[in-house]
Amino acid sequence: MQDFLIMNTLGYPILSLLVFLPLAGVIPLLILKNDAAAKYWTLFITIVIAVISLQLYFKFDKTTALYQFGVDHAWIPMWDIRYTLGIDGISLLLILLTTMIMPLCVLCSWNYITTRVRPFLACLLIMETSMLGVFMALDFVLFYILWEAMLIPMYLLIAIWGGPRKIYASIKFFLYTLAGSVLLLVAIIALYMKNGTFSIPMMMGQDYSSVFQIYVFLAFFLAFAIKVPMFPFHTWLPAAHVEAPTAGSVVLASVLLKMGTYGFLRFCLPITPEASIFFMPYILWLSIAGIIYGGFTALAQQDMKKLIAYSSVGHMGFVTLGIFVFNAHGIEGALLQMINHGVTTGALFIIVGMIYERTHSRELALAAGVGKFMPVYVTFLGFFSLSSLAFPGTNSFIGEFLVLAGAFAKSKIVAACAIPGAVLAAAYMLRMLQKVVWGGTNNPDQSYLADLNVREIITLAPLLLFVLWIGLNPAPFMDVMHASVNHLIQQVGIADAGPQGILEVAKLAIPH
């Protein structure tokens, strides 16, 4: 038995159950002939999965950095490929985020999707399987298979149920992400040649040469930077977000983007620490560029979905910034910010979807002044907008604060350059909030709008709960990551003390 894995002791294989239950949930969809029944069934199965996944939090051992709830079976003996699942403090919250957000995706599509409902729900469930699998996989081939397989349902979600430019957006999404990950496969095989195993934990902390690390890192980086997306690889994101149906946007923003940053944390840092340090300055500056660029572009948008999409570029810039400062504050802040972005941006996309269902437009000008007729709606919008601009008391404040604290510890100049991003976030979010709630003197007639119904309130309420919960009491969320993050920093730290030459290069690029 591998020593990095604590085997599952719950009496039932909880991780395998979580991965395969959504897939099993597809089978009734093939048989059911009634769309309404299919919706109730999908809602039911996703809620069941969410409830089961809560077990992970309560039974999670916060004191260890080992992978827990492990499952390990031989799969393809010839290449020593194993079916290995396990979670640690880095993946736990992302898994919970995924399982929690899926029922909301079903709810927010209740009336939005009217054609080919059952295939749509099947795509959502297949997405859930592959997303959960990506966060749990500890075998690189298993990881890659799920990582790639996800493209198919996501492509279909955008290409079939998307907006007017869906074909352009979906192909761009597919080509970008696939092109990014083909070299990832080569890097994975190269790592296998060095180690004789595809086990991810066993690839960590090995003594690879600097040149090898740099090549592997570059292959990793291309795949993950496109997924995040980091500036300048972000151009697929606004297109995909704008054209995707609401549930697609939510899955994309809340979970898919996190896979890129998760990749940095799980693979780049522990497997190629030396190269990570070597490339750190460049990535920090790319993050800053993303933060500023995303902010300014969001400020100029007239389409609400585009605005939120570009704000994602900025927010994810904060996440990569936090990861690559290599200290506990930065990485924990980045992890928390990943969750926060999932909650807040997911909610904002749902909110835009709600107004789209009513007005059939995402234009900011056409949604002006709805506050008078939809008070509940704008209350939610207010909270989530404040959360998005990292207002104290909301979740993003904690995350962004930690990231900036980490950045200041690393380099004052880098941190100072990130500050305008926070200001820009306030500017573009308040601009949208002001427009939507009050508008101006020439508002379009909004009197026909009905306020949120019970289903829509139920969709948004859990997200609001988490916004305030993380904002006011982040300890339950932070506790689970400490051990894993410290372990990760140690893994990078070993290299940090090692090759002085690389450190000197890094210092030159970032003045202290």
Partner 1 sequence: MKMALFFPELFLLLSCLVIFLLTLGKMRSSTVRNITAALSIIAFLICAGSLRLEGDLFFKAYRIDLFSQLFKLAITGGVALLLLFSRELKGIEETIRAEYYLFLLLSALGLVMLVSSVELLSIFVALELSSYALYLLVPMRDDHSGLREQMEAGIKYILFGVVATGIMLFGMSYLFGLTGTTYLSELIPAMNQVIGTPAAIVGIALVMGGFFFKLGLFPFHFWLPDVYQGASNETTAFIASVPKLGAVALLIRVATLAAPSAATLVNLLMILAVCSMFYGNLIALVQKDIKRMLAFSGIAHAGFVILGIITLKDTGFASAIYYITGYMLMNLACFLVICNVSVKGENLAISDLTGLYKRAPLLAFTLAVGMFALAGIPPFVGFMGKFMLLAGALKEGYLTLVILAAINTAIAIYYYLSVVRVSYCTDPEERPALTVAPLTQVISIVLVLIIIIMGVMPAPVVDIATAAVRGIM
Residue closer to partner 1, measured from CB, 76 or 430: 76
Which residues share a beta bridge with 5? 67
Q: What are phi and psi of 450, to 5 degrees?
A: -100, 145
C-alpha 101/C-alpha 22 separation (Å) is 14
Among 17, 149, 218, 483, binds partner 1 (CB under 8 A): 149
Residues 303 and 363 sit within 8 Å (Cβ to Cβ):
yes
129 binds partner 1 (CB under 8 A): no
C-alpha 25/C-alpha 244 separation (Å) is 23
Maximum CA extent, the chain: 71
Among all chains, which residue has been given the structure tokens 């210092």? Answer: 507
What is the smallest separation between the CB atom of 74 and partner 1, expressed in angstroms? Answer: 9
Contact stretch for partner 1 (CB under 8 A) within 53-61, 159-167, 325-333, 441-449: 159-167
**Alpha helical stretches, state H, 389-443:** 395-410, 412-437
468 binds partner 1 (CB under 8 A): no
6 binds partner 1 (CB under 8 A): no
What is the smallest separation between the CB atom of 309 and partner 1, expressed in angstroms? Answer: 21
Cβ–Cβ contacts within 10 Å for residue 511, how many?
Answer: 9
What is the smallest separation between the CB atom of 77 and partner 1, expressed in angstroms? Answer: 6
503 binds partner 1 (CB under 8 A): no
Positions 410 through 429 that interact with partner 1 (CB under 8 A) = none
Residue closer to partner 1, measured from CB, 115 or 442: 115
What is the smallest separation between the CB atom of 386 and partner 1, expressed in angstroms? Answer: 38
Single-letter code of the amino acid located at 54: L
132 binds partner 1 (CB under 8 A): no
> CA dist 201 to 66, 197, 424, 488, Å?
10, 10, 40, 11
Q: What are phi and psi of 434, to 5 degrees?
A: -60, -50
Look up residue 114 and give its two tokens.
């009217």
Residue closer to partner 1, measured from CB, 29 or 488: 29
Residue closer to partner 1, measured from CB, 91 or 177: 177
148 binds partner 1 (CB under 8 A): yes
C-alpha 392/C-alpha 412 separation (Å) is 22
DSSP state letter for 137? B
Contact stretch for partner 1 (CB under 8 A) within 160-168, 270-278, 366-374, 476-484: 160-168
Among 27, 175, 419, 461, binds partner 1 (CB under 8 A): 175
Residue closer to partner 1, measured from CB, 154 or 460: 154
Residue closer to partner 1, measured from CB, 190 or 457: 190
> CA dist 463 to 340, 374, 394, Å?
10, 19, 12
218 binds partner 1 (CB under 8 A): no
152 binds partner 1 (CB under 8 A): yes
Q: What are phi and psi of 190, to 5 degrees?
A: -60, -40
Residue closer to partner 1, measured from CB, 76 or 419: 76
Provide CB contacts within 8 A for 15, sequence distance 6+: 8, 69, 70, 71, 85, 86, 87, 136
Positions 24 through 83 that interact with partner 1 (CB under 8 A) = 75-79
Residue closer to partner 1, measured from CB, 159 or 460: 159
C-alpha 60/C-alpha 467 separation (Å) is 23
> CA dist 426 to 316, 344, 404, Å?
16, 14, 16
* Number of alpha carbons in the 13 Å side-chain half-sphere of residue 237: 31
Length of the chain: 512
167 binds partner 1 (CB under 8 A): yes
Cβ–Cβ contacts within 10 Å for residue 47, how many?
Answer: 15
Among all chains, which residue has been given the structure tokens 């859990």? Answer: 462
What is the smallest separation between the CB atom of 244 and partner 1, expressed in angstroms? Answer: 13
Look up residue 351 and give its two tokens.
């909110």
**Total chain residues near partner 1 (CB under 8 A):** 33
Contact stretch for partner 1 (CB under 8 A) within 142-150, 270-278, 301-309, 406-414: 142-150
159 binds partner 1 (CB under 8 A): yes
Contact stretch for partner 1 (CB under 8 A) within 55-63, 163-171, 241-249, 289-297: 163-171
145 binds partner 1 (CB under 8 A): yes
169 binds partner 1 (CB under 8 A): no
Residues 187 and 219 sit within 8 Å (Cβ to Cβ):
yes
170 binds partner 1 (CB under 8 A): yes
DSSP state letter for 216? H
Contact stretch for partner 1 (CB under 8 A) within 143-151, 276-284, 302-310, 415-423: 143-151
What is the smallest separation between the CB atom of 236 and partner 1, expressed in angstroms? Answer: 14
Question: Contact residues for partner 1 (CB under 8 A)?
Answer: 75-79, 141, 144-146, 148-149, 151-152, 155-156, 159-160, 166-167, 170-171, 174-175, 178-179, 182-183, 185-186, 189-190, 192-193
